[in-house]
Amino acid sequence: MASSDPVILLENVYTAYEGADRPTLTDISLSVGKGEFVIIGGPNGAGKTTLLETINGMLPLTHGKAVVCGHDVRGNGVGVRRRVGYLLQNFAFDPLTPFTVEEVVLMGRFGTIGLFRKPGKEDHEAAKRALQLLGIEDLASRPIGQLSGGQQQKVLLAQSLARDPDVLLLDEPFSNLDMFAREAINCLLSRLVASGIAVIIVSHAFDDLPDCRVRVVVMHDGRISLDRECLPADVGLLIRNAGSASLNA
Amino acid sequence: MLEFIIQNNIVCHAVEAMLFASIACAVLGVIITQVQISSIGFTMAHAAFAGAAVGMFLSLNVTICAIVAGVCVAFLIGPLSDKARVSPDTALGLLFGISMAVAIFFIAYMQTIGQGFSAMGLLFGDVISLYREEIYLLAIICVVSVVFVVVLYKEITGIIFNKRIAESVGIQVKPVYYALLFVIALTVALCLPIIGGLLIYVWLVTPAAIALQFCYRLSAMFVVAPIVAAAISVSGALAGLEYSLPVAPLTAVLFSIVFIAAVFLSPKRRVTFRKS
Ligand SMILES: Nc1ncnc2c1ncn2[C@@H]1O[C@H](COP(=O)(O)OP(=O)(O)O)[C@@H](O)[C@H]1O
Ligand SMILES: [Mg+2]
């Protein structure tokens, strides 16, 4: 599948939450190359969010090996997260949150800038580009807490893009977006994929996917039950079939 | 340091001490209120108080005992809530209870053996009997807390925004967070003798709460809170010494009055009223 060196390589990975008596991810092996578009499906609680956070090192893996963007996730999670954009699931901000959209997007580069340094000109320019990519330049000076859920989601997506990532992890990014925003973001994602970024997206919306080759990964109960390439039009059917197959099993 | 304005030595020292303590507490207070770790600040203040009481009883260095106790609490909260399987909130409640019990036990015991006077200073603060070295220490902690915020401003804003998002961006959240707790513990312990264990919390939280009434941006809060705190604290020290009133309690009352006035004058409230 991956033509060149994989940007994400998981081998027999197990991840357990602190205090849990069994792992949430069981024996996951996954290899994703540059410019691949991976859509992850599966029921609630299957471990999709856990998989994304294992990839970017926010959750420590208990067994196995994970190398992302050339860094060992176990030893250098911070290094991984500086190359990986991650849009967290279900975020909403209090109306009084004292941050403007511009500040939130610039924050996407804070890890890359490094300790004891201030954001420079190129950081502000990258933040501006990210705002433009999502078409939300007009929101730049608005407090993030006073935006709608969909607008907030776009701001956070702009934040993950601001550090020019090699990998983009999106956890249900469409949950608050209207039809037009979905189309716009799908169009953006296909451009990103074409430029060589690996995109992994957890989603239940299969109707309007980017027009590129898609790889479908279905998870059940912490394991990968299906992993194959297909056409965008077949994604919904594949995931539904995988779901009923595991119900019958 | 301010001798050229204030001739009276006692008044001069009191004003200097209040100035430095209030700036340090207010700057950190903005972080404490915005990261919503007020209960951690609260518990650390009381632990430092307990440490000071124990130190005083054992004739050890009071400041060092206060620092040790405050730092211990900061680093106990996480493990305690993991291992004892209680929520961080409950862990703080437990530590707060233990701190107060220890502090009150030793202060009461010192009353019975006739050391009550200095123990009362720990409760309500004492700006009269200050040594030169204590003022220098307060000046240093004031500079340390300001420099801490300036140097780690990016990381601190990330943590204030959202710890998980800050982590996902590649900010080293844990080291910065623990450094923050450490600086808070240091500040609380050093300010304790002049403000008092029962009142220091007012200095940590009220200036930020006042600034929040007027500021929409975080950077503005970091400027407004220390200025307001310094103005109120210096006024409180001058007024208290002029009219022979206890300085720290008087200043705490001033803080509360200004806070109530700020709530009524806040433009934020006016905007909300117009909408509904
Ligand atoms: N913080 C946590 N602590 C313990 N268990 C968790 C935690 N978060 C999720 N889990 C468990 O891990 C499993 C997978 O969760 P998650 O990855 O969020 O699923 P999905 O994103 O596929 O809906 C669930 O069974 C859930 O109960
Ligand atoms: Mg999820």
Residues A192-217: what's their mean pLDDT?
A: 87
The whole-angstrom separation of Cα A220 and Cα B50 is 52
Question: For residue A19, is pLDDT > 90?
Answer: no
Which distant-in-sequence residues (6+ apart) come within 8 Å of A97 by Cβ?
A143, A144, A145, B161
**B213 confidence band (pLDDT: 50, 70, 90):** very high
Domains of chain A: 6-93+167-248 (3.40.50.300)
B151-162 confidence digits (pLDDT tens): 999 999 999 999
DSSP B57-103: HTTS-HHHHHHHHHHHHHHHHHHHHHHS---HHHHHHHHHHHHHHHH
Domain segments of chain B as ranges:
9-265
A110: pLDDT confidence band, cut at 50, 70 and 90? very high
Contact with chain B for residue A71, Cβ under 8 A: no
Q: How far, in Å, are A24, A57, A86, B148 from residue A18 at the CA level?
A: 10, 15, 22, 32
Where does the pLDDT of residue B270 fall: very low under 50, low under 70, confident under 90, or very high at 90 and above?
low
Q: Determine phi and psi for A39, rounding to 5 degrees.
A: -110, 130
Best of B168, B216, B272 to substitute, by most chain A Cβ atoms within 10 angstroms, is B168
Over the stretch B174-210, which tens digit does the pLDDT of each residue have? 899 989 989 999 999 999 888 988 889 899 999 999 9
Structural contact between residues A167 and A200, judged by C-beta atoms closer than 8 angstroms: yes
pLDDT at A119: 95
Q: Each residue of A65-90: pLDDT tens digit?
A: 999 999 999 999 999 999 999 999 98
Q: How far apart are CA B221 and CA B26, in angstroms?
A: 10
Residue-averaged pLDDT of chain B? 89
Please tell me which residue, A92 or B77, carries the higher pLDDT value. A92
* pLDDT at site A4: 64
Cβ B233 vs Cβ B18: under 8 Å: yes
> What tens digit of pLDDT does each residue of A218-244 get?
999 999 999 999 888 888 888 888 877
ipTM summary value = 0.93
* B169, B222, B269, B275, best to mutate vs chain A, most A CBs in 10 Å: B169
φ and ψ at residue B196, rounded to 5 degrees: 100, 145
Contact B216 A159 (CB under 8 A): no
> Per-residue confidence at A1, pLDDT binned at 50, 70, 90?
very low
Chain A and chain B share a number of CB contacts under 8 A equal to: 70
What's the CA gap between A11 and B25, in Å, rounded? 49
Pick from B151, B158, B164: which is nearest to A107 by CB? Answer: B158
pLDDT tier, A92 (very low <50, low <70, confident <90, very high otherwise): confident
Query: Is the distance from the beta carbon of residue A240 to the nearest atom of ligand 1 less than 6 Å?
Result: no
Report the phi/psi class of residue A116: left, alpha or beta, with left for phi > 0 and alpha for psi in -120 to 50. left
Smallest CA–CA separation between B139 and chain A, in Å?
23
Report pLDDT digits (tens) over A26-68.
Answer: 999 999 999 999 999 999 999 999 999 999 999 999 999 999 9
Q: Poorest-confidence range of A70-84, A87-101, B86-100?
A: B86-100
Q: Which of A99, A101, A113, A169 to mutate to test the interface with B (most CBs of B within 10 A)?
A: A99
Is the distance from CB of A92 to CB of A152 less than 8 angstroms?
yes
What is the percent of chain B where pLDDT is above 90?
A: 55
Alpha-helical regions (H) of B115-199: 116-124, 132-151, 153-161, 163-169, 173-195
Kind of pairing, strands A6-15 and A223-230? unpaired
Cβ contact, residue pair B168, A56, below 8 Å: yes
Cβ contact, residue pair B168, A97, below 8 Å: no
Residue B165: pLDDT band with limits 50, 70, 90: very high
Q: What is the pLDDT of residue B130?
A: 82
The mean pLDDT value for A1-16 works out to 84
Q: Tell me, what's the pLDDT at A248? A: 56
Minimal-distance CA residue to ligand 1 atom 18 = A49
Over 50: is that where the pLDDT of A118 sits? yes
Does ligand 1 lie within 6 Å of residue A24's CB atom?
A: yes
Query: Is the pLDDT assigned to residue B276 strictly greater than 70?
Result: no
Are B168 and A119 inside 8 Å of each other by CB?
A: no
pLDDT over 80 at B23, yes or no: yes
Q: Give the model's pLDDT for residue B69.
A: 93
Mean pLDDT of the B27-51 span: 90
What's the pLDDT tens digit per position in A163-199? Answer: 999 999 999 998 888 888 888 898 899 999 999 999 9
Q: Is the CB of A90 under 6 A from ligand 1?
A: no
Lowest mean pLDDT across A126-140, A141-155, B85-99, B200-214: B85-99
In degrees and rounded to multiples of 5, residue B70 shows phi and psi of -65, -45
Q: Which of residues 167 through 196 in chain B touch A, CB cutoff 8 A?
A: 167-172
Task: Please tell me the distance from the alpha carbon of residue B141 to that of residue B182, in angstroms, as a whole number.
Answer: 12
Q: What is the pLDDT of residues B133-153, one digit of tens each?
A: 889 999 999 999 999 999 999
CB-based contact (8 Å) between B211 and chain A?
no
pTM of the full structure: 0.91
Question: What pLDDT, on the 0 to 100 scale, is given for residue A91?
Answer: 82
User: Which CATH fold topology does B9-265 show?
Assistant: ABC transporter involved in vitamin B12 uptake, BtuC (1.10.3470)
Q: What is the mean pLDDT of chain A?
A: 91
